[in-house]
Structure 1
């Protein structure tokens, strides 16, 4: 029997982290039974090109319409959108709510992205919230709205312990209701090594030659109300220090190819490379996919990132990784991944602190324990991979099936 699964909570695969998350979910669903997957997104035609190979069909999200992506969606009236909503629910056997960390007050989208799960529950369609970071909520109303949906979910998994503690201790969700797993993108395969080596050769890097990757975020300054120029200068100092101290190539990875310039990492890496004006600093260009970026991270000596899924791509290949973080999701994922042997403050620096004082960056780089980080990741990764798989082994029970 073919299951019809709707995947919701998707913004756009212009963010390669979204691509990594949704592609991994699609792969996990296909592994556990014959499945027809419909992904609801803000940029359906664009995402189809990236997600089509993973066996999904993309459609414009009729539950959430983002004004900033309107031109990427087919025009439709409210009546037409409502008709599509009903048709989707009528044919669905399961709704998977993803999004990583959309259920928080950080981005102002939490309540709108509950619309599809609420519609599914109203129609009697089972809902699985998979591998989320939850909160913090600044509004009790938003928290209560999420709780009401969460308590009715057949499956609810959390991708890190910080969120687990928050929903249990702060929101009062029963401990038996949510299971700790890991982000499905831990399971995403990197691009084939031959493809990665061919790409590195175009960047002037020979096989086996060490290099550092930096995945900066153009949107992080705006999100945290930081001075954008000050943030860019802090990144420039970081790049300069790496070049001087390590003397190896520094690849700048634009993990978000956003059609909205204020969040387009390609613009930022081009600016950083131009200002560095050093032959070892190279902006990575071209329409690379999430698996391509993971392949580059897998071969790197070190990865430093302001994008969480760039971090997950590196961590899941045992590459020592540092985060310049901006929310609790970084703390949770890094603490769970490195475990107790690596102090969190040795691999994570808050972006406010990063921008405010260059001495904090110096201290972070000076205290790097590359081998200890690699050993911790080698030890912990099997645990994280098994947790990530658990997201999917829980799903067959929804339909009364015995998990494989």
Structure 2
């Protein structure tokens, strides 16, 4: 039984500099506190560096959360390293590269591990070896592991690796899938036992007004376009993507009377340019011809504060999945810049269509402006629909706690 004397580990997330990761954690805590009295939570997360870890420790506002830093320790031995190279080439997935034995001291009073990486069980960021090895470690210690509010796959493009993942997923204690497309994919590879349909815990992220922002004009368009999109739009050319983005915003400014808010949602203190939304949006801002109605939001706000900012938009256009979840969960008409099944899946689950998505093939100022005008023209209808739909989505997120209790027969 899960109680005040047992731990719940949230494993595999990243730093709060990624507001989506923070939103998953905060939403998960809302779920656990709804079903359990004073849960003791250990957030075991990957950080880019020790400084980020110490900063997160210092800035944590929830006393129920204890943070620990996950380290990717490679297993020892030259032979294993040779296998590592060969196996990464063939993608069979069978060899464990990473050792997490240093976590043993946290396991004594741990009742369950919630794998909270969101979409890391996919090929969007490469082979998810650190995460599968982490969960295999917990399973080897006889700890139940639940993929929590997750997207899974597809791995179809790498058949040998997909065969490994099928076996691995069957070893996982339970899968709480956040979209129908994940449910469908799991069923297609024969993983259909102890699979539960929920929604992303980030839909339950509380909202908080920043102390230094008093108001935002009603006719504001929020835009979050990440440098990560360059992988899919401009063949990794971030500068070219910044010019394309500036052209899109120039078009919107010239054809509407709207204010434009450029809103970062992922940051980094290391050299990974794909995580630096603010730096990218600042370059975009510099390229915009008419800046009179453009506001660049600083990269200093928490996930809840970013959600407040996004909630004040007339329409929001976002690339980061959890930026769009912040928008949708606030009832704001939302256009999603999508590059994978998860963006399409969330839209289809909410709207039963993907009309409010911008696909890779649609990255054109005229197409994007046309879609924005369509959403603006139908704003009242979309808001009314979201007012009815989002409470249902939030209840589905809360179901995760109900299913967790069911698994432990509580």
Normalising by structure 2, we get a TM-score of 0.84
Which secondary structure does the structure 2 equivalent of 1:10 belong to? strand
- Tell me what 1:20 maps to: 23
Question: Is the CA contact (8 Å cut-off) linking 1:156 and 1:179 kept in structure 2?
Answer: yes
Select the residue among 20, 25, 31 that pairs with 2:34.
31
Question: Deviation of residue 305 (structure 1)?
Answer: 0.5
Matched, 1:333 2:346: yes
- Tell me what 1:163 maps to: 182
- Tell me what 1:128 maps to: 146
Map 1:271-310 → 2, pairs under 5 A: 271-276=283-288, 277-310=290-323
Matched, 1:186 2:203: yes
State the number of aligned residues: 371
Question: Deviation of residue 109 (structure 1)?
Answer: 4.2
Which secondary structure does the structure 1 equivalent of 2:336 belong to? strand
Matched, 1:154 2:173: yes
CA distance in 2, matches of 1:279, 1:37: 46
CA distance in 2, matches of 1:218, 1:157: 30
Select the residue among 213, 230, 235 that pairs with 2:222.
213
Matched, 1:237 2:247: yes
Select the residue among 159, 177, 202 that pairs with 1:140.
159
Q: Deviations over 1:131-164 (max 9, x none)?
A: 1111111323332333333323333111111111
CA RMSD in angstroms comes to: 2.3
Which secondary structure does the structure 2 equivalent of 1:250 belong to? strand
Question: Is the CA contact (8 Å cut-off) linking 1:326 and 1:350 kept in structure 2?
Answer: yes
CA distance in 1, matches of 2:100, 2:365: 52
User: Using a 3 Å threshold, how does the CA distance of structure 1 residues 8 and 144 change in structure 2: closer, same or farther?
Assistant: farther
Matched, 1:104 2:108: no
Map 1:49-88 → 2, pairs under 5 A: 49-53=58-62, 55-62=64-71, 82-88=100-106
- Tell me what 2:77 maps to: none
User: Using a 3 Å threshold, how does the CA distance of structure 1 residues 200 and 227 change in structure 2: closer, same or farther?
Assistant: farther
Question: Deviation of residue 226 (structure 1)?
Answer: 4.3
Map 1:229-378 → 2, pairs under 5 A: 229-259=239-269, 260-263=271-274, 264-276=276-288, 277-338=290-351, 340=352, 343-344=353-354, 346-354=355-363, 357-368=364-375, 369-378=378-387
Which secondary structure does the structure 1 equivalent of 2:222 belong to? strand
Q: Deviations over 1:288-338 (max 9, x none)?
A: 011011111111100001111000000001100001111110000111122
Question: Deviation of residue 92 (structure 1)?
Answer: 1.7
Structure 1 residue runs of 5 or longer lacking an equivalent are 66-80
- Tell me what 1:393 maps to: 402
CA distance in 1, matches of 2:114, 2:259: 41
CA distance in 2, matches of 1:35, 1:235: 44
Structure 2 residue runs of 5 or longer lacking an equivalent are 48-52, 75-98
Question: Is the CA contact (8 Å cut-off) linking 2:251 and 2:365 kept in structure 1?
Answer: no
Question: Is the CA contact (8 Å cut-off) linking 2:281 and 2:296 kept in structure 1?
Answer: yes
CA distance in 1, matches of 2:63, 2:258: 36
Question: Deviation of residue 50 (structure 1)?
Answer: 4.8
The more displaced of 99-108 and 137-146 is: 137-146
CA distance in 2, matches of 1:396, 1:129: 15
User: Using a 3 Å threshold, how does the CA distance of structure 1 residues 16 and 64 change in structure 2: closer, same or farther?
Assistant: farther
- Tell me what 1:199 maps to: 213
Which secondary structure does the structure 1 equivalent of 2:122 belong to? coil
Map 1:3-14 → 2, pairs under 5 A: 3-14=6-17
CA distance in 1, matches of 2:367, 2:179: 26
CA distance in 1, matches of 2:259, 2:165: 45
Question: Deviation of residue 366 (structure 1)?
Answer: 3.5
Q: Deviations over 1:38-70 (max 9, x none)?
A: 1112223233345442621111114578xxxxx
Normalising by structure 1, we get a TM-score of 0.85
- Tell me what 1:91 maps to: 109
CA distance in 1, matches of 2:257, 2:365: 20
Question: Is the CA contact (8 Å cut-off) linking 2:267 and 2:299 kept in structure 1?
Answer: no
